[in-house]
Amino acid sequence: MSQESSSEKGPDEERRHDGQQEGGHQGEEGKLKDAPLWVWSIAFLGLAMVVGSIGFMLYEAMAGERSPPDVVVHVDLILPTRNGHLVKFRAVNEGGSTAEGVTVEGELMNGPNSIETSNTTLEYVPSHSMREGGLYFTLDPKEYELRVRAKGYEKP
């Protein structure tokens, strides 16, 4: 009877038995070999993104620019308001380090005399970036010499 049962095995059972004899891992290897090309493409893209991110972070940590903040202030626009005038500006950090708590001062000059000053603080100006702000004056800045500059910062 045992001879009959072994000879009555179906083709599926014989294939399973033969595959196990050849190493037992044929099913897993077959799945990897039969994976569509798009699956391999996505896996490769993910690997490239992870390796690239790690490489960039290592590069920035080792060779990143470490020059001090260099904040330059540019006047964009002068607008009249109900209580005076608004001077809109851009503060550009051209340095290699972040500046925190950047104090920007605007001063109206009449020859050597300072007529009016206005100050504001920009909380955070990262390296190689730009922030916008405004200064309020009671007098018209167009009638005087306007000086706008960064006065100081804190190290984050």
List strands edge to edge, sheet with 145-154: 113-125, 99-110, 145-154
CA dihedral 72, 74, 79, 83 (to 10 degrees): 20
Model confidence pLDDT, tens digit, residues 58-88: 887 777 667 899 999 999 999 999 999 999 9
What percent of the chain shows pLDDT beyond 90?
63
Beta carbons of 153 and 98 less than 8 angstroms apart: no
Q: Which of 32, 35, 131, 45 is nearest to 91 (CA)?
A: 131
Alpha carbons 126 and 102: distance in angstroms, whole number: 11
Task: Return d(Cα 120, Cα 133) in angstroms, integer.
Answer: 8
2-6, 35-39, 62-66, 147-151, range with the lowest pLDDT: 2-6
Q: What is the pTM of this model?
A: 0.61
- Report all structural domains of the chain as residue ranges with CATH numbers, in order of start: 2-63 (no CATH), 71-154 (2.60.40.1620)
| pLDDT tens per residue, range 106-150 | 999 999 999 999 999 999 999 899 999 999 999 999 999 999 999
